[in-house]
Amino acid sequence: MLLVVTEVARQQLWMYQNNKQSIEDRIVSLTQPHIRPIVRGKAGKPGSSLLVMVR
């Protein structure tokens, strides 16, 4: 756990010093350090989107 906290602190310091909002392979959970953030927003591809619901 100490290694994970140290890595999170290093990542946060790098983002602050470089005025960045994200970092590649950013740790988002102390208890599950292998989890990575979900990319959200537009995919950058033209066209309509589709929503399918199954009941």
Determine, yes or no, domain membership for 26: yes
Contact 37, 26 (CB under 8 A): yes
Determine, yes or no, domain membership for 16: yes
User: What is the structure's pLDDT at 35?
Assistant: 80
Determine, yes or no, domain membership for 54: no
Q: Which two tokens stand for residue 32?
A: 């599950």
**Cα–Cα distance, 15 to 21 (Å, whole number):** 6
Determine, yes or no, domain membership for 11: yes
Determine, yes or no, domain membership for 51: no
pLDDT higher than threshold 70 for residue 49: no
Measured distance between the N- and C-terminal CA atoms of the chain, rounded to whole angstroms: 41
Determine, yes or no, domain membership for 28: yes
- Structural domain of 14: 1-37
Domain count across the chain: 1
Determine, yes or no, domain membership for 3: yes
Contact 47, 54 (CB under 8 A): no
User: What is the structure's pLDDT at 45?
Assistant: 63
pLDDT higher than threshold 80 for residue 5: yes
DSSP 21: S
pLDDT in tens, 10-45: 999 999 999 998 888 888 888 888 887 777 776 666
Selected residue with higher pLDDT from 49 and 25: 25
Determine, yes or no, domain membership for 48: no
pTM of structure: 0.59
